[in-house]
Amino acid sequence: GRAVSTLSVNQILYMGQGKPSSDYTLQDGNRKSMLLVNSGYPRASFWDDSFLNSQPHLATPQATNMLVSEYNISEAILVEAHNQIAEVHQLRPEELARPYTGVMHYWKGASLYSWKAGANLEIISKQMIKPFKDANVHIVGSCYSNSQWMEGALDSVEVLLDRYYNQQNDTWI
């Protein structure tokens, strides 16, 4: 599913086995779900706020298989995102299940790609997923999808998995 708001969480994409719910816990086995928050300018700059990012401690993952990386999220950002998502759905934060982990990357600056006039997106996108017949090389991204930004990138990965890795029956994707 998808939700759009005027808050800094801006676009919320839900991908997974079930609907968002406060009833899910780690014991329920809902580990194949993902919630993606995507904010564009000017809302994205909120997440680069010096207070939110200067918090000394990282959120403690409740998942045991998370890798420590440069994208780990601070507790302050995790709480703020959780509070805003609850507000979007007109819930109190305690009514919404706490995320069991989180990662974040703030892209400073912007990017742009464009298509040559008359280019056929459908044909080119199919070719780019595996541009070389005999090489195990794949190219995916939002520029090869009808959707944009992160949603488009994830859509193109799903096409790759379906076509080349026989993932058609994975209901969580």
3-state SS, residue 18: coil
Strand order of the β-sheet with 11-15 is: 2-4, 11-15, 34-38
Contacts of 133 (CB under 8 A, 6+ apart): none
Q: Is residue 102 part of a domain?
A: no
Mean pLDDT of the chain: 75
Q: How far is CA 43 from CA 6, 78, 150, 151, in A?
A: 8, 16, 16, 18
Domain extent for 124: 111-173
CA distance 24 to 147: 29
Confidence (pLDDT) at 88: 92
- Do residues 78 and 146 both lie within one domain? no
pLDDT digits (tens, 9 = 90+) for 102-144: 777 776 666 677 888 999 988 998 899 999 999 999 999 888 8
Pick the last residue of a domain from 70, 95, 120: 95
User: What total number of domains does the chain contain?
Assistant: 2
Q: If you search the block for the tokens 């090489």, which residue do you land on?
A: 135
Pick the last residue of a domain from 95, 128, 160: 95
Amino acid, res. 16: G
pLDDT digits (tens, 9 = 90+) for 92-102: 999 888 777 77
Quick one: pLDDT band at residue 24, thresholds 50, 70, 90? Answer: very low
- Do residues 88 and 121 both lie within one domain? no
pLDDT digits (tens, 9 = 90+) for 56-67: 555 555 555 555
Residue 16 clears pLDDT 80, i.e. is over it:
no
Which pairing describes strands 11-15 and 2-4: parallel, antiparallel, or unpaired?
Answer: antiparallel
- Do residues 90 and 118 both lie within one domain? no
Amino acid, res. 62: Q
CA distance 37 to 44: 10
Instruction: Give the global pTM.
Output: 0.56
- Do residues 67 and 149 both lie within one domain? no
